[in-house]
Amino acid sequence: MNIGFIGLGTMGKPMAGHLLRAGHRLIVYNRSAARTADWQGNDSVTVVASPAEAAAQSELLFTMLSDDAAVEQVYFGDNGIMAGCRPAKEAAGLLRLVIDCSTIDPNVSIRTAQALEALGVDKLDAPVTGSKPQAEEGVLTFIVGGKRDVFEKVEPILLLMGKKAVYMGGHGAGSIAKLANNMMVATHLVALSESLALLQKAGLDPVKFLEVVAGGGARSGMAEMKGPKIIQADYEPQFMAALMNKDLGLAARLSDALRVPLPAAAAVKQVFQMACNGGHGEEDMSAVYKCYEQWIGTAD
Amino acid sequence: MNIGFIGLGTMGKPMAGHLLRAGHRLIVYNRSAARTADWQGNDSVTVVASPAEAAAQSELLFTMLSDDAAVEQVYFGDNGIMAGCRPAKEAAGLLRLVIDCSTIDPNVSIRTAQALEALGVDKLDAPVTGSKPQAEEGVLTFIVGGKRDVFEKVEPILLLMGKKAVYMGGHGAGSIAKLANNMMVATHLVALSESLALLQKAGLDPVKFLEVVAGGGARSGMAEMKGPKIIQADYEPQFMAALMNKDLGLAARLSDALRVPLPAAAAVKQVFQMACNGGHGEEDMSAVYKCYEQWIGTAD
């Protein structure tokens, strides 16, 4: 199949690679061209100069972008996806389906879906859990919103990049569940950071503590994956703190819109904002620990 | 060996049962006598009328109590452990070691250790991770503070009740690490509650969401163990909300004493206090979800 892929960053590039290895032809676009350089000259990959061209040449089009603004631009901007849909429709509808894997405001997911459906193109919101390593290994989990029958038809293609795809409901449902998921990730990271800081200030060994945590009810994916990295001060980004701060902002807007008070998520958002303000936004999200680390050395 | 056990509640009773099944003789005391009724008439169990008697008749003595006040009373009160140590010492020191498995203020752990050591009796603080099911299955993790050589000698006995024992450092180190561990447990429960409430208010399926969480970085012991119970509204206590509220209060005191700001743990403490004030203190700690559940049905 001719599959378009827009957004070849940390996540998008390995995801597109799985589609290519499965024998699909790729039509790729990235805002900064350097990201597509590796694929220049590959017979199965066409590098195009705009989202509109990607939309015009693809039957199925993925987008994996960093935030609402990027999605707005790529979908609705000059030479955006919407502009590319019209020629496709005139040519008997080459483009059938757009799948947005970006983590964005659910309202933007709904708006892009409505705009595409008005042109006869289906749309799914399908953000993923997992970061760089899971994208590379093809073991992401897709969290899907949109029409159920559309999801069921395309599920085998999602499973080329992931181990699982969970259907959550109509347009925007994938985005909402993704924000709820990331609130948990962020809160678990802050919980880990607070406990590690407290016990290190008390003079205890954080490695031994991770052993305690792993054996009981306090265990978490974050403690397993990020605990040892925090202790080794390895903040090489797998998922940047600034992106998590953005997701927590979206979750706060959803909390406000739905009138569900979330005091812990609110505190966690403030700590991520402090981490970003402290210059750690482009480090891994686990750099939120640096907000606490500074207190360990202070006098009692 | 003659092993004393004081505090035969939800945790203590199954723990003592493992020692009995391993062939040890038990000397048991509980403040409310009903808890020892099952063992009346068992040739390997002596039910005594005071902590002092338990201390006087045991070589090794465990305590598993609910809070600081209970520990103060059992150790330092009339007919308390300290009162029972003197006869033991005069009789060539029958009692060699007291192990307190209660989750309490680390300063109380240190004070009991110093008082016992002054009478020639060793002391360990060894709170556990795991609740009722883990106590019954004998798969607790002990978090140990005190002298390392004392810990190493007694470790095989701890492993009759647990799968692991981690040595954290001197007196009080087990208690500190336990509070840090429980801060994580409580924060994970609140994170789960906030996400479940938000997405249910948005009309999404919490069962599907737990599937998403299980597959990615948001996974946690709490999501696995408590998520399905929350969805089924099963709040049968395995570890009571009031006890977690108490532990969060101790953690807050430690945060204050060590001058380590913990904004997320502070928010989580407030939510647990609300759950207790709402009459859910004697339900399972997962009843903290009830603080959020009330918002799901409200109008948008």
CATH number at residue B267: 1.10.1040.10
Nearest CA distance, B294 vs chain A (angstrom): 9
Q: How many C-beta neighbours within 10 Å does residue B162 have? A: 26
User: Where would I find the H helices in A77-120?
Assistant: 81-90, 106-118
Contact A168 B255 (CB under 8 A): no
CB B128 within 8 Å of CB B7: no
Helices and strands in chain B, H and E counts: 13, 9
Question: Are A199 and A97 contained in the same domain?
Answer: no
- Looking at B99, B134, B169, which one is the last position of a domain? B169
How do beta strands B140-145 and B128-129 pair?
Answer: antiparallel
Contact list in B for residue A208 (CB cut-off 8 A) is 166-168, 177
pLDDT reported for residue A36: 85
184-213 in chain A: CB under 8 A from chain B? 184-185, 187-188, 190-192, 194-199, 201-205, 208-209, 211-213
Contact B209 A258 (CB under 8 A): no
Contact list in B for residue A176 (CB cut-off 8 A) is 198-199, 202, 204
d(C-alpha A144, C-alpha A155), whole Å:
10
Question: Which residue from A minimizes the CA distance to B223?
Answer: A220
- Looking at A139, A169, A199, which one is the last position of a domain? A169
Q: How many C-beta neighbours within 10 Å does residue A273 have? A: 17
Q: How many C-beta neighbours within 10 Å does residue A64 have? A: 25
Question: Which residue from B minimizes the CA distance to A178?
Answer: B212
Contact list in A for residue B205 (CB cut-off 8 A) is 168-169
| Amino acid found at A260 | V
Question: Are B93 and B221 contained in the same domain?
Answer: no
Per DSSP, B71 falls in state H
Average pLDDT over residues B44-55: 95
Contact B260 A201 (CB under 8 A): yes
Per DSSP, B67 falls in state S
Question: Are A51 and A103 contained in the same domain?
Answer: yes
Residue with tokens 């993704």: A178
| Amino acid found at A158 | L
pLDDT confidence of B299, banded at 50, 70, 90? low
B229 touches A at CB < 8 Å: no
* Bridge partner list, B162: B140
pLDDT confidence of B89, banded at 50, 70, 90? low
Q: Is residue B90's pLDDT more than 80?
A: no
Number of folded domains that form chain B: 2
Question: Are A201 and A255 contained in the same domain?
Answer: yes
Contact B208 A166 (CB under 8 A): yes
d(C-alpha B70, C-alpha B128), whole Å:
17
Question: Are A190 and A145 contained in the same domain?
Answer: no
Contact A264 B190 (CB under 8 A): yes
Contact A195 B215 (CB under 8 A): no
Global pTM value: 0.94
Nearest CA distance, A216 vs chain B (angstrom): 6
Question: Are A160 and A52 contained in the same domain?
Answer: yes
Residue A46 CB partners (closer than 8 Å, separation 6+) = A25, A26, A27, A28, A57
97-136 in chain B: CB under 8 A from chain A? 106, 129-131, 134
Q: Is residue B88's pLDDT more than 70?
A: no
A271 touches B at CB < 8 Å: yes
Question: Are B207 and B276 contained in the same domain?
Answer: yes
Determine the distance from the C-alpha atom of residue A114 to the mean position of all C-alpha atoms in its chain, rounded to a whole number: 22
Q: Is residue B297's pLDDT more than 90?
A: no
pLDDT reported for residue A34: 84
- Closest among B97, B78, B130 to B1, alpha carbons compared: B97
CB A104 within 8 Å of CB A67: yes
Average pLDDT, chain B: 94
Question: Which residue from A minimizes the CA distance to B239?
Answer: A217
Q: Which of B131, B158, B204 to mutate to test the interface with A (most CBs of A within 10 A)?
A: B204
Question: Are B252 and B223 contained in the same domain?
Answer: yes
HSE of A204 in the Cβ direction (CA atoms, 13 Å)?
A: 35
Q: Which of A192, A225, A259, A260 to mutate to test the interface with B (most CBs of B within 10 A)?
A: A260
Q: Which of A189, A219, A224, A286 to mutate to test the interface with B (most CBs of B within 10 A)?
A: A219
d(C-alpha A96, C-alpha A152), whole Å:
14
Q: Which of B13, B123, B164, B178 is catalytic?
A: B178
HSE of A292 in the Cβ direction (CA atoms, 13 Å)?
A: 31
Question: Are A92 and A6 contained in the same domain?
Answer: yes
Contact B260 A130 (CB under 8 A): no
Contact B212 A184 (CB under 8 A): no
Q: What is the CATH number of the domain that holds B37?
A: 3.40.50.720
d(C-alpha A37, C-alpha A83), whole Å:
25
Question: Are A196 and A155 contained in the same domain?
Answer: no
pLDDT reported for residue A82: 94
Q: Is residue B107's pLDDT more than 90?
A: yes
Contact B191 A202 (CB under 8 A): no
d(C-alpha B242, C-alpha A272), whole Å:
30
pLDDT reported for residue B87: 61
pLDDT tens per residue across all 300 residues of chain A: 999 999 999 899 999 999 999 999 999 999 888 888 888 889 999 999 999 999 999 999 999 999 999 999 999 999 999 999 876 555 555 889 999 999 999 999 999 999 999 999 999 999 999 888 999 999 999 999 999 999 999 999 999 999 999 999 999 999 999 999 999 999 999 999 999 999 999 999 999 999 999 989 999 999 999 999 999 999 999 999 999 999 999 999 999 999 999 999 999 999 999 999 999 999 999 999 999 999 998 665
Q: Which domain holds residue B15?
A: 2-169
Question: Are B17 and B118 contained in the same domain?
Answer: yes
pLDDT reported for residue A41: 85
- Looking at B169, B189, B216, which one is the last position of a domain? B169
Q: Which of A125, A199, A269, A272 to mutate to test the interface with B (most CBs of B within 10 A)?
A: A199
Among A202, A209, A225, beta carbon nearest to B217: A225
Question: Are B40 and B153 contained in the same domain?
Answer: yes
User: Where would I find the H helices in B58-147?
Assistant: 68-76, 81-90, 106-118, 132-137
Determine the distance from the C-alpha atom of residue A119 to the mean position of all C-alpha atoms in its chain, rounded to a whole number: 26
Question: Which residue from B minimizes the CA distance to A259?
Answer: B300
pLDDT reported for residue B164: 96
